Amino acid sequence: MSLNAKNRSASRRKSAPASPDPAAAVRFIRRHTRLQPVLAMVLGSSFREVEAVCDVDAEIPFNRVPGLPATGVEGHAGRLLVGRVGPTPVLMLSGRCHFYEGHTLADVTFPVRVAAALGVETLLLTNAAGGINPRFRPGDFMILRDHINLMGVNPLCGCGGPLPRFVDLSEAYDPELQRRLRTAARQAGARGHAGVYLAVSGPSYETPAEIRAFARLGADAVGMSTVPETIVARQCGLRVAGLSCITNLAAGRGNTAISHEEVLEAGRRAARQAGELIRHFAATFPSG
Ligand code: HPA
């Protein structure tokens, strides 16, 4: 191999996989609906029932949207809905693909780039999380006021293009949206706490020693998603809100082992309140 060819293949190895272009996805979505969503939401495993509060105008499986990777985890439906929650036009990304499934972070965060390219200005990210804060009980909700990224990766690594690379995260979660989520939780009769979300890559759950360490770092809940999407959303200039459903006590905080089934079941139990909470939150946006 010539020196030039060697250099070229070395630099290919070093660069992260490029994000697909969201423009094709946007054109595809616009062929299915004339609604212009003002709010997008990613529905994590405990929030899929929230689809029920959406008056759906278009429903598209993820694998039909150009560039959107299919999701493969039980509890993650993998479809895109455009419709109205009350009077508010919304984009619902129901289900997400995770880093622990082997997806690149470019894939994991692509739906966020699509939402931004579609003209959405606000993004609500939801997830299931294990409660670290001793005041948290399964079925409670946590409104993210900040995060700690311990996934060991950052979605902006290797990502070129016109958008800023050194993104400011000093107010990653919009304070006004946090207030609206707190009010919405109260209106839904849900227990809502403000807290710090710590992200790990998973897919194994944590050890009790890790959870003790995370508590010392200032984390209130732990999960395996959301942070890459927040970072990309901030890069795209979206206002971000984050909402966790506390599905279980984190490792060593309760007396039982943690299972994916338990996490899904707790999410199903909290579904009605999650729907109500999001209905009240959506009502604070213009009707478009
Ligand atoms: N740890 C990590 N991710 C989670 C948990 C947990 O305890 N519960 C739900 N998602």
Tell me the CB-side half-sphere exposure of residue 244, using CA atoms within 13 A: 35
- Report yes or no on 145 lying in a domain: yes
Active site includes 224?
A: yes
Query: Distance, CA 129 to ligand 1 centroid (Å)?
Result: 4
**Ligand 1 atom 7: the closest Cα is on which residue?**
130
Confidence of residue 72 (pLDDT cuts 50, 70, 90): low
Confidence of residue 261 (pLDDT cuts 50, 70, 90): confident
Active site includes 100?
A: yes
- Report yes or no on 49 lying in a domain: yes
Task: Mark 3-20 as b/e (b = at least 16 C-beta within 10 Å).
Answer: eeeeeeeeeeeeebeebb
CA dist., res. 190 & res. 54, Å (int): 20
Active site includes 176?
A: no
pLDDT tens for 24-37 read: 999 999 999 999 99
Instruction: Pick the range with the lowest mean pLDDT from 39-43, 131-135, 263-267, 273-277.
Output: 263-267
E strands within the chain? Answer: 39-43, 55-61, 79-85, 88-94, 122-131, 141-149, 192-199, 221-223, 239-249
Query: Distance, CA 167 to ligand 1 centroid (Å)?
Result: 27
Q: Using a 6 Å cutoff on CB, does residue 172 contact ligand 1?
A: no
* Number of DSSP helices (H) and strands (E) in the chain, helices first: 9, 9
Give the pTM: 0.90
Active site includes 45?
A: yes
Give me the pLDDT at residue 49, please. 83
Instruction: Pick the range with the lowest mean pLDDT from 17-21, 167-171, 241-245, 268-272.
Output: 17-21
- Report yes or no on 137 lying in a domain: yes
CA dist., res. 155 & res. 230, Å (int): 10
CB 85 within 8 Å of CB 195: no
- Report yes or no on 4 lying in a domain: no
Active site includes 147?
A: no
CA dist., res. 137 & res. 147, Å (int): 20
Which atom belonging to ligand 1 lies closest to the Cα atom of 130?
7
pLDDT tens for 193-250 read: 999 999 999 999 999 999 999 999 999 999 999 999 999 999 999 999 999 999 999 9
Secondary structure of residue 122 in the 3-state scheme:
strand
Asked if residue 12 has pLDDT above 70, the reply is no
- Report yes or no on 204 lying in a domain: yes
Domain limits for position 157: 20-282
Number of domains in the chain: 1
- Report yes or no on 231 lying in a domain: yes
- Report yes or no on 3 lying in a domain: no
Q: Catalytic residue, from 77, 100, 194, 262: name it.
A: 100
Active site includes 193?
A: no
CATH number, position 165? 3.40.50.1580
Which is nearest to 138 in space by CA: 182, 183, 97, 193?
193
Which atom belonging to ligand 1 lies closest to the Cα atom of 248?
8
Q: Catalytic residue, from 19, 40, 41, 45: name it.
A: 45
pLDDT tens for 74-99 read: 545 589 999 999 999 999 999 888 99
CA dist., res. 126 & res. 144, Å (int): 10
Active site includes 9?
A: no
Which atom belonging to ligand 1 lies closest to the Cα atom of 249?
7
Instruction: Pick the range with the lowest mean pLDDT from 11-20, 58-67, 77-86, 199-208.
Output: 11-20
- Report yes or no on 287 lying in a domain: no
Confidence of residue 270 (pLDDT cuts 50, 70, 90): confident
Please state the rounded mean pLDDT for residues 163-190: 95
- Residue located via tokens 């006590």: 249
The per-residue pLDDT of the chain, averaged, comes to: 89
Q: Catalytic residue, from 142, 224, 241, 270: name it.
A: 224
Q: Using a 6 Å cutoff on CB, does residue 250 contact ligand 1?
A: yes
